[in-house]
Every structure is written in structure tokens, then in C-alpha cells.
Amino acid sequence: MLTCPICQGALSSADNGVVCPADHRFDRARQGYLNLLPVQHKNSRDPGDNAAMVEARRRFLDGGHYAPLARRLAELAAERSPRSWLDIGCGEGYYTAQIADALPDACGYALDISREAIKRGCKRAPQLNWLVASMARVPLGDASCNLLASVFSPLDWQEAKRLLTPGGSLLRMGPTREHLMELRQKLYDEVRDYDDQKHLELIPEGMRLAYSETLTFTLQLDSEQARADLLAMTPHGWRASAERRAAVIAEPLSVTVAIRYDWIERL
């Protein structure tokens, strides 16, 4: 199922790693993941989220603030009973691990471009296949996945279509225009609006939207650390001014969480 990121040949186990027929070899890190991101595919020395960003997200998510989101994601994934699945852009694996718990008999893969994120993911669900790799060049074979999960992550739609089996599904989870509205109002003089359904225009021919739902709840953040971590794990942590960020961290905050789930099938 794994393919070489250099020549696309099939990878097989060899010593403490994998190798393709062209003898491209990739070692398994001591944490258990495979680094399938060749230097020529990197746009920086250490692409993706750095250690500080990953730790902020880990603390916030482990605090249970987004637990209803993860629970619903796992329920939706379990409804499809896939034989093989991939969390594409998995981050440090909070959502990935809950999908894995809901699909104990399936073959699961988790991929992110951030090595720091994948290191932490390995600890959450060591039974999965953890990969450092590009979301634009996923080192898995054509039609190899019954289910793709994309959680708060950019998506290469053509790559998603390539990976899915006919009848397979992409489960996309992303924010609506109401998500964190109160936070954005505190950070910016003018809150930029956006279309909740704009991403649907990007669905390629041969795929279709089968189902959507939205989960909404109010989140009370009384902890200064939680407010700081929420800022650090969103783009607002670097887009907003330092003064506005400090003001948000200083006082208790109540925010709307509003997340859309889309089932997008390959025909």
C-alpha cells in the first residue's frame, strides 16, 4: 500500500524501515513513524507546525474543549466501516486516535508534513502507520483508501480522488462562518466573512457531496493557558496584533464553536 515518494514504486519492509525496487530506503524513527518526505519535496528545513504550535494544540485538545467534535467525527467514520483509512493532515493525532478507537479492525494511516506533530501522534495510537509526508504527494497507492479524514486541514482534491476507492468517502471537518466569532470580533476591527460552502465548488468531477451536518456549541474558556493555546493553534495567533492577543488572553472568554462535517463520495 505504501509507495516510494521518489519513484512511486511499492515499498516493502526491510530492516528497520522500508525499501522500493529502485533501492530507495527510508528508516523508521525510534518513535515508530516513517519519514517519507524527501529533501527535494520540502519548502523549508522543518516544514509544518513547529514544536510550540504542536504543544499548544495538544494542551488545548487534551483539555477536552473540542471533545464533542472528535466524538462526532469518530461516530461518522464508524458508520462507514472502512477496511483502510487515512487521516490526511493529522497534526498531533488527537482526532486520529479517536477514529482509530472507533475502527479497531481497519488498517489506519496518519500523515502530516510536520515531524514534531507526527512524533506526538505516535504516542497516542502506536498501532497506526504514522507518516511524515506531503499532502500533495501522499505515499499511498491509487484507490488504496475507503475513507479519508481531513480535519481543519488544507486538501488537495485531486490527490484525495486518487487515493479513494470507488464508493469510498472523504470526511471533511471544517469551520463555518460562526466559528470562534466572538474571538475574531475581539481581535479585528472588521471580521472577514466567508462562504461556508465555498469548498464545495472545488469538488472534482467524479466526486459528489452526499451528506452535511453542523455541530454548534458554546465554549467557556476561563483558563488563561487555554485562551493562549487557542490563539496559538489558529492563524489568529500571528495575524492579529500583539495588543489584541494579550487582551484576549487576559480575560475569560465565551466563544461559539461551529463546525461543518461533509461526506464527499467518489463515484
Residue-range domains of the chain with CATH: 12-266 (3.40.50.150)
CA distance 265 to 102: 20
**pLDDT exceeding 90 applies to what percent of the chain?**
87
Residue 157: per-residue pLDDT: 96
- The pLDDT confidence band at residue 43, using thresholds 50, 70 and 90, is low
Task: Please indicate if the annotation marks 20 as binding a ligand.
Answer: yes
pLDDT at 235: 84
Record the pTM. Answer: 0.95
Residue 44 banded pLDDT, cuts 50, 70, 90: low
Q: Is 199 labelled as part of a ligand binding site? A: no
Q: Any known ligand binding at 179?
A: yes
Instruction: Give the pLDDT band (50/70/90) at residue 17.
Output: very high
Specify whether the CB–CB gap between 177 and 194 falls below 8 A: yes
- 35 within 8 A of 41, measured Cβ to Cβ: no
Distances (CA, A) of 99 to 64, 132, 220: 16, 19, 26
66 marked as binding residue: yes
Residue 140 or 47, more confident = 140
Annotated binding residue at 261? no
The per-residue pLDDT for range 149-175, each reduced to its tens digit, is 999 999 999 999 999 999 999 999 999
CA–CA gap between residue 44 and residue 48 (Å, rounded): 9
Question: Is 48 annotated as belonging to a binding site?
Answer: no
> Which residue, among 264, 265, 3, has the nearest Cα to 129 in the 3D structure?
3
